[in-house]
Chains A and B, each alone.
Chain A
Amino acid sequence: MIAGIYTLVILGGISYTMERTLNDYHLTVVEFLGIYVILAVSLALTNSFTGLFSLGHPAFMAIGAYISAILTFPPIRKAIMMPALPHFLANMQLPFCLAVIIGGVIAALSAFIIGFPVLRLRGHYLAVATIGFMIIVQVLITNMNSLTRGPLGINGIYPYTDIWWVYIWVVVTVYTVWRVLNSRFGRAMLAIREDEIAAESLGISLTYFKLFPLVLGAFFAGVAGGLWAHLVTAITPSSFSLPLAFLLVVMLVIGGKSITGAIIGALLIGIVSELLRPLEMATQMYGLTQIVTAIGLLAILIKKPGGIAGSKEINLVSLYKSLKVLR
């Protein structure tokens, strides 16, 4: 408990210092890192802890992003840009926080709808079904012109996302996933990952405990989508597609099968491309970042096939004890 409060305060202090000292660009990079952490940790629920290979995160993000963007959009501009909105939506303008949560909830609902039939099957059906779902979401957004502005996407979204919103949602995500993992639910998920038949024989409902992490992960993906939309300020159907899904999977692979691993993976992937950018600009060798990232990925896979953190977690209590801040 005390360790948790310490961490909150330290992270808050870091955020405050960054808000005060960093320029707009570096602050944006930090905010994207936070969003990556939310995405990676929530994807770890299915992909790392339950052994389900989901590629659906971009679809859930797209749902969260579009819903929250429509909800926070000023009604005057909605009338011009999205004429087919139902009346109650057209005149509504919600606070950012609420819009993001609603986006997350609707993303979670959609995960429930596709997860329910698919997760009763055994095998790799989820990967295929989530790719399919992503395509359906994209096609729908592309063709519902009068609601979503089609391929042009929504632009001019107010940049509500700041470092504090990202900080809050990172804390909420990591805390929730950590609590889930160390509960009855988490142990059931891990049991399913290790051996489905053994888990079922112990009375674990496979469908329920597979559906739960997918839906919870989709909620946080929807939230991350909302934060993303209000940071980039423009979204199109192609903003959330397969390359992003693979990027998230890569984060989990290089990080390892733990919350710590997911965070490390997200930070590494996010930082490396920004760090290499000045080099790319100076040498005029565009494409360098992608090559270096790929080589680094291969090196990690060869040296540490389980990911950098493996399945270990950082124990905050013993960390503080060793630093002598806590007795």
Chain B
Amino acid sequence: MRRVLVVGFVLVSMLLVFGGFGYAGGVIKIGALYNLTGEMSSIDAPALNGVKLAAKEVNEKGGVLGKKIRIIAIDTKTNQKECATAARQLLSEGVVAGIGYGDTTYVLAAAPLFQKKHVPFITSGATLPELPKMIGNYMFLVPFGDNVQAYAMADFLYKDLHVRRVIIWTNKATDYTLALSKYFKERFTKLTGKKSILLEDFFQTGDKDYSAQIARVKALKPQPDALFISSIPDDIGIIVKQVREAGIKQPIAGGDGYDTPLLVKVPGPKLANDIYYTTHQAWDNPDPVVQNFIKNYKRMFGHEPENAFAALGYDALMLVVRAIKRAGSDNPAAIRDALAKEKGYHGVAGTISYKNGSRVPQKAVAIMKVEQGKIKFVKMVMPNM
């Protein structure tokens, strides 16, 4: 028992000592909330790495306004309760801005607290375009909204692949997939008319058998030119495998939920063919900003960026730093005003401007193609909104 007490005492005193470092002068504190353990960690851990890389680069160049950036990162364990407490912790430590999360659910638990204290919160990966409206004028998005990526895919299918008739499958268990299908349908019917959607079908996260939906597609006359399947990363591999095994050869299209190694791994390179998806950045984009990011990321963490969320995390911090510079102050309200006036930050995951008071960036969407298991960058698309 005594030993336990000793160990406990040591831990507590260590924490007090470490905690004390935060109060040194000449730093600008920026909070980072990410789910570093639990189901969201595959998306959120790379994003935090991106934030850290950006902070390191800024500090190596002498910081901003003569002060160093200090990132206070908290693991919120894929748990909304942790988000709500961690956000309050950051705010009571006096952060001037918060960055975080690759999913709307967790933003909704943390961001309103920032809004209430008038501290800007910038989500690096949540794509729900209504977020700023739901939370308030201190909420910003770094990625494009789901409407932009769905519009981009609709435009691309219509103009580049000359698709006129589609079917839509939607995972009805997540908000992301529902929104994606909604916006795709909206744009595609506007381009081609109501009759262009031959069939709408639904599935749920974790479904293993899609034979019923496949049979309904095969019974269609005329046949669709393409399949728009709105899915999260977990299911898309199995869907592609079963659709292709059933002999459906038309192109499959979807959103950034396809940006996962499972897309090729599960069906195998033979069946993973003729698939198109939208995402935030293509790593083989020759833009020096992108290539430098990959090089520096590799130097700092020992491996290439895991997915586009790393780039988004990097961009999120850089946006805040630019806003601080423009504002000439690290006052949260001044940062917010400067952020809202951002015009043309050339980031790793596209160029970001907040136009007409919108706090969702209008930016280009990368269209990717899978050909015999190989992922290729097709082009950047900027849909007219």
Contact = CB atoms under 8 A, between A and B. Distances in A.
Contact of A25 (B19, B77, B92, B174): B92
A196 B306 CA distance: 57
Contact of B104 (A25, A152, A235): A152
Given A151-B175, A278-B18, A278-B19, A28 B112 contact: no
Contact of B84 (A23, A233, A277, A282): A233
Main secondary structure of the interface of A (DSSP, over half): helix
B12 interface: yes
B88 A24 contact: yes
B108 A153 contact: yes
A228 interface: yes
B108 A281 contact: no
Contact of B75 (A153, A275, A287): A287
A286 B36 contact: yes
Contacts of B172: 143
Contact of B73 (A32, A233, A281, A290): A281
A151 B105 CA distance: 9
B300 interface: no
Q: Which residue, of B11, B84, B172, has the highest number of chain A Cβ atoms within 10 A?
A: B84
Given A24-B92, A233-B84, A155 B108 contact: yes
A29 to B, nearest CB: 6
A156 B131 CA distance: 12
B270 interface: no
A290 B69 CA distance: 29
Interface in B341-376: none
Contact of B112 (A143, A150, A234, A303): A234
A242 interface: no
25 contacts: A24-B88, A24-B92, A25-B85, A25-B89, A25-B91, A142-B173, A151-B175, A155-B112, A231-B84, A232-B83, A232-B109, A233-B84, A234-B112, A239-B80, A239-B81, A275-B11, A275-B12, A276-B11, A277-B74, A278-B19, A281-B18, A286-B36, A287-B36, A287-B37, A290-B77
Interface of B: 1, 4, 11-12, 14-15, 18-19, 21, 36-37, 72-75, 77, 79-81, 83-86, 88-89, 91-92, 104-105, 108-109, 112-113, 134, 172-175, 178
Interface of A: 23-26, 28-29, 32, 142-143, 150-153, 155-156, 228, 231-236, 238-239, 243, 274-284, 286-287, 290, 299, 303
